[in-house]
Structure 1
Amino acid sequence: MSLLSLALVALYASLALAVQPIKVQGSNFVNSVTGDRLQIIGVAYQPGGSAGFKPDSGIDPLSNGTECLRDAAIMQSLGVNAIRVYNVDPDLNHDMCASIFNDVGIYMIIDVNSPLGGESLVPGEQLEGSYNAGYLNHIFSVVEAFHNYNNVLGFFSGNEDMNDVPSGGPVPPYIRSVTRDLKNYIAKNSPRVIPVGYSAADVRDILADSWAYLSCDIDGNDNDMSRIDFFGLNSYSWCGSQATFESSQYNVLVDQFSKTTVPVFFSEYGCNKVLPRVFDEVQALYGSEMTGVMSGGLVYEYYEEVSNNFGLVWVYDNGTAELRTDYDNLQKQFNKLDSKALQSGNSTATKLTSPKCDASLISSTSFNNTFDIPSIPRGGQKLIDNGIPKPNNGKIVPVTDTKVTQNVYDSSGKLMTNLVIKPLPNDQSNNPSGTDSSGTGTGSATSPTSTKGAAGQLNVPATAAAAAAALLIYNIIF
């Protein structure tokens, strides 16, 4: 190896801690080294949707370094500092993807559950049976696979498990139990404390009770391991340029969470009932009326899938990507933000003591108001005490390739040349740059089918059944 090559390797190795771990301090996310507050400016990242999660084929969203490099460059230009990843296989190697996102100052929030059998809680009559040692082995495996990456901001113990009023009865105690087990496993087996939270459906009849139930303290000593460290909300109530702070009921959310003792943020947002999306809610979310209570949010979603009109970027089957108008509009909104002020804001606000769990915290007569949560399943405590067998531990590795090799087109169809990631110095997270990507391509517009993969978009489902399933999910949400 030449001296130049050795120097480059040393350079990139020195950048391996491009972001510092995030900790929870009261109701804020805080950089554990600088003490700066972190406002999440992020996107949901699930290439191909559920169809793109193929553990049997060695594929999950963070398994392909070439694709992650392309997407990290696009996201760095967009201005995001965090992604949410829904489905991961803990047996795969995620080192390159995690290291790429780390180098460009992008944090990762990882869901521990998956759609595969035995890897999530099953609602209804199977709820108790699905909470077993095999399930715990899976979610603990996810912790093992990701806990060495400094840019893992946190884990979601559940996503929309309480998605209607009836589910507010049996499900909440199990969410607290899973949260407890994850936090105990992290405390025993992880080199650092990593926050664990929950992502809630925007079911207004039980939203306040979900937050109150999960964030109170059963033991009364403000150190309850079953208490969530943060609360995410999947909210699509702001729709189009005619929406306002009041019509979207953002004001209601601010009032509701005004005394939160944990960080609260939008774990999904971006209504698509009015197209193209203009993302006016960005200015409200990061404005003075909300930042005192909320910690930002994640736009749903990065990839366009099944023509659902939620995506910011088309990705074709040959790896080519094309920015959509929604990407341009979101970037323009992000570029209006005073990101330095947001990320360096006062993080020393008085920490409110978590209320002791009590039936009086619950307003709905149909929501669970008891706090006798299930004990850990047989065999689960042994996993915590000894660690899971043969864990697949990830690690940050040097990122020596910075240039994107696939073709990327702007929203007008022009090829974007010299697209690269730009590694950041230690302690820095990514922020909007103030520069728009629209119109940065070169040459004339081209036909997607002639240059970007005649087989169509990567995310088009292979079967009519997959399309029907996607439509069903869409109808459930809206």
Structure 2
Amino acid sequence: MLSLFRSLALLVAALAAIARAVHPVEVRGQDFVDTVTNKRLMIIGVDYQPGGQAGYKPDSKQDALSNGTVCLRDAALLQRLGVNTIRVYNVDPSINHDDCASIFNAVGIYMIIDVNSPLEGESLNRASPSSSYNSAYLTRIFGIVENFKGYPNTLAFFAANEVMNDVGTSKENPPYIRAVQRDLKNYIAKHSTRTIPVGYSAADVRPILEDTWAYFQCAIDGKDDDPTRSDFFGLNSYSWCGGDATYQSAGYDILAAMFSNSTIPVFFSEYGCNKPEGVARVFNEVAALYGKNMTALSGGLVYEYSQEESDFGLATINENTTVSLKKDFDNLQSQYNKLDIKLIQSTNAAATQAKPPKCEESLISDSGFSKNFTIPSPPDGADDLVKNGIKNPTQGKLVEVKQTNVPMAAYGSTGVQIQNLAIKPLQNDESNTPGGETTSPSGTASPSPSPSKKGAAGRAGVGIWGVTVAVLAVVLATL
């Protein structure tokens, strides 16, 4: 009988692993906060877009979250790395993303989703925002909301990314970005069972950076519930370059002072300078970003997971779908392992929520940035889309994660294969945290496998379903 109870306990644990979900997160003042534990979520993340922009292929129904086996591989490595959030830039609203979203959910990793893409008509045109702001564009971005609103690990949506990349583009575009934020937030309020934050990802253009932040965090007429206002502010920052950089030389002290009185969460939506070229990044900025001097910020996302032409990758994805980690991965993991997670989760979680500043021209300097707070009205047809929803949306939901073992090989930075690579579904609705482990095995081998090498690809693992079946067999055998 004792054996029976043990077997049943194992069965319950196995089944629970496929049903768990991370807790939804909401914005409270400067912080992202877990709605159940009330702990602060500090973003420890990586930007995730395997294949880069070329990996977004709506004609063939492919994007970064369309292949569950690929996501299983990458989730296993990212879980070991210690991240709790990924940012995904280009997704197709008509594709089913259930497998990938569920896998990342199982390992405690949130997703921040960009609603735009590089294709024509799927983002604001910084050269002519009025011409690109139309009902067809809104239908596209509302489709992203429909697709991802059902996943509890959807942390937030980026309404736009680096639309202002110089002083010239900061004159006409800001009101249109606030209009897109308004439309997204109104659609979410009407068609989602929970609030999902919406914000902007800004380029680190110092002449206009402070004005950009001031413009998007202020409230028109001083109303806290102004839907055009950003719920959070992301910054793509690459000022910390090389192992000799410091808190002061990288200008982190300036950023910390700038954002110290922010009334919304601020985080690095991209960081990780790759200069000098050809040298592995040491990521000593991690200690500063999560240290006591930058508690006003909510962490950041390292650019980027996969090696692309821009040479920012933590891992190289080989042609046969195997993966080879770079030294950058090891160095970042080492830095993450040094973080004081309890301190990070507790910082500012109960901070007083300051009232946002009222939008007025005096908030903006004379940098040339827009002082126009008259937000464009929704285009023709937009009100009907918000009221009644888009037609025939693809709506995602969590599904059972039936496999945990990764079927293709992965190699450490020295070329040694990583053994028994698998995801580890978390219990108690946890988010992932650095685990103090080292992913790259010790020893030496060839620098990387040949792209044509089959390796362990195609060798299926047992997975959660296999474990469940095995436990059932044990239970039946004891009856």
Cα 1:96–1:256 shift into 2, 3 Å: same
SS at match of 2:385: helix
Once the two structures are TM-superposed, the CA of residue 10 in structure 1 deviates from its matched residue by: 8.2
Structure 1 residue 91: Cα displacement = 0.5
TM-score by length of 2: 0.90
Tell me the residue number matched to 2:270.
268
Structure-2 residue corresponding to 1:415 = 417
Alignment match, 1:73: 76
- Indicate whether 1:64 and 2:67 are aligned: yes
User: 2:450: which partner in 1?
Assistant: 449
Q: Deviations over 1:158-184 (max 9, x none)?
A: 000011001110000000000000000
Equivalent runs, 1:63-462 vs 2, <5 Å: 63-124=66-127, 126-274=128-276, 275-291=279-295, 293-306=296-309, 308-439=310-441, 444-445=445-446, 447-449=448-450, 452=453
Letter in 1 for 2:286: V
2:179 and 2:377 in contact (8 A); partners too: yes
How far apart are 1:370 and its partner, in Å?
1.9
Deviation, 1:426, is 2.7
Equivalent residue letter for 1:303: S
**TM-aligned CA distance change 1:5 to 1:450, over 3 Å:** farther
Partners of 1:356 and 1:418 in 2: how far apart?
Answer: 55
Secondary structure of residue in 2 paired with 1:289: helix
In the alignment, what sits opposite 2:3? none
> Any residues of structure 2 matched to 1:17-56 within 5 Å, and which?
17-56=20-59
Measure the CA separation in 1 of the matches of 2:337 and 2:288: 14
Contact 2:414 2:448 in 1 (8 A): no
**Which one-letter code corresponds to 1:278 in the other structure?**
V
Q: 1:218 to 1:412 in 2, by over 3 A?
A: same
2:86 alignment partner AA:
I
Which residue is equivalent to 2:462? none
SS at match of 1:368: coil
Counterparts in 2 of 1:399 and 1:183: CA distance versus 1, 3 Å: same
Deviation at 1:123, TM superposition (A): 1.8
The question of whether the paired residues in 1 share the 8 Å contact of 2:411 and 2:440 is answered with no
CA-CA distance at 1:439 after TM superposition: 2.3
Distance (Å, rounded) in 2 between the aligned partners of 1:392 and 1:200 = 29
Question: With structure 1 as the length reference, what TM-score do the two structures score?
Answer: 0.90
TM-aligned CA distance change 1:435 to 1:365, over 3 Å: closer
Identity of aligned residues (%): 59
Deviation (angstroms), 1:341: 2.4
Does structure 2 conserve the Cα–Cα contact (< 8 Å) formed by 1:15 and 1:426? no
Contact 1:214/1:227 (<8 A) preserved: yes
What is the CA-CA distance between 1:425 and the residue it aligns to? Answer: 1.3
- What is the CA distance between 1:448 and its match in structure 2? 2.1
Aligned length: 447
Residue in structure 2 matched with residue 469 of structure 1 by the alignment:
none
The root-mean-square deviation of aligned C-alpha atoms, in Å, is: 1.9
**Secondary structure, aligned partner of 2:294:** coil
**Is residue 108–residue 431 contact of structure 2 (8 Å, CA) maintained in 1?**
yes
Distance in 1 between the 2:20 and 2:234 partners?
26
The alpha carbon displacement at 1:117 in A equals 1.7
Gaps of 5+ in 1: 455-478
Deviation at 1:339, TM superposition (A): 1.6
